[in-house]
Amino acid sequence: MQKIDIFNHILPKPYFDKITSMSEGGAYMMKRVSAIPMLYDVDARFEKIDQFGEDYKQVFSLNLPPIEVVAGPEDSPELAQIANDGMAEVANKYPDRFPGYVAALPMNNVQASLDEIDRAVGKMGARGIQIFTNVNGRALDDPELLPIFEKMADYDLPIWLHPTRSAEFADYTDEARSWYDMWWAFGWPYETSVAMGRIVMSGLFDKFPDIKIITHHLGGMVPFFEGRVGPGLDQLGRRSDDPHEAGTLARLEKRPYDYFRMFYADTATFGSIPATECGLAFFGADHVLFASDAPFDPEKGSGYIRSTLSVMDGITASIEDKEKIYELNARKLLKL
């Protein structure tokens, strides 16, 4: 069977050169990525992925920082176009190894985002879009962002949901920043989980029951805290005086738990069999897709691919379910 890695990252060279020359917005990530050639050098990418044979393929998406962090609403649309043109060029040149790419959006400019969806997805063949768990601190259930979800529901192609959080998000109120990479190690799974929760409580799945959202890192914290998103959130409003929270469950057609299980999730757990088993038990084999989150391992590209393949060998899923995770779910969702 083929192995389609649906959540790994790239910085196309024209885009990489452009943002490197710009302001310090997103500098917290640029220091991390500049030393990883696989992100911006196609030859370096092949050097890493060729270790895993021609059956290993990638559908890549743009790396952090989010475009809306790098540029304001006037300039971000151009950056999105440069990024998407660069990804399309690589995918179109090597379709046997890169069967698709995920479009980037200037999320601080909603109309430009809608236009870019029509250009990149509608005309250029991107297999979906990537958004981040907040838009410069704004929650994804902001009504202004709803047309983006609606358009992707109309296209019937997935939304990739990637966490974003920097060291500026302090862990304690008496500190100015987060220390020791806590903003990444624990902050990102938290970001993913909260974004999922806000989407659930907004009623988005009632508005668009067939919408497809792929969460990174196997749904963040959600699978492990199944009891909290199940019977825990069934009590929403009973312990609060806020009238908005008190009426939330009545506005929803299902339990929060049922909506959380409508998300899709990837296998990017950095080599953890127990975490993968936990996520697979929560989402089910039909809603899990193979992904490595390359190239952010100590080997700068091949380590997480290798460890994720090892996890897939080690989990107790059936051969049929592994084929779904490796290939069939991606082909179905991305229409490959």
Residue partners of 182: CB distance under 8 A and separation at least 6? 171
Token pair recorded at residue 274 = 């127990």
Residue keyed to tokens 């060729």? 50
Name residue, tokens 């990804």: 87
First and final C-alpha spacing in the chain: 15
Mean pLDDT by 10 residues, the chain (336 residues): 98 91 60 84 97 98 95 97 99 98 99 99 99 98 99 99 95 97 97 99 98 99 98 90 86 98 98 98 99 96 98 98 99 99
* Strands of 288-289's sheet in order across: 103-104, 129-132, 159-162, 213-215, 264-266, 288-289
User: In which domain, by residue range, is 279 found?
Assistant: 3-334
Number of domains in the chain: 1
CATH code of 26's domain: 3.20.20.140
pLDDT at 32: 67
Which pTM does this prediction carry? 0.96
Q: Return the pLDDT at 239.
A: 79
Q: How far apart are CA 282 and CA 316, in angstroms?
A: 14
Residue 100's alpha-carbon distances to 27, 78, 79, in angstroms, are 28, 21, 20
Calpha distance 304→314 (Å, rounded)? 15
40/26 Cα distance (integer angstroms): 17
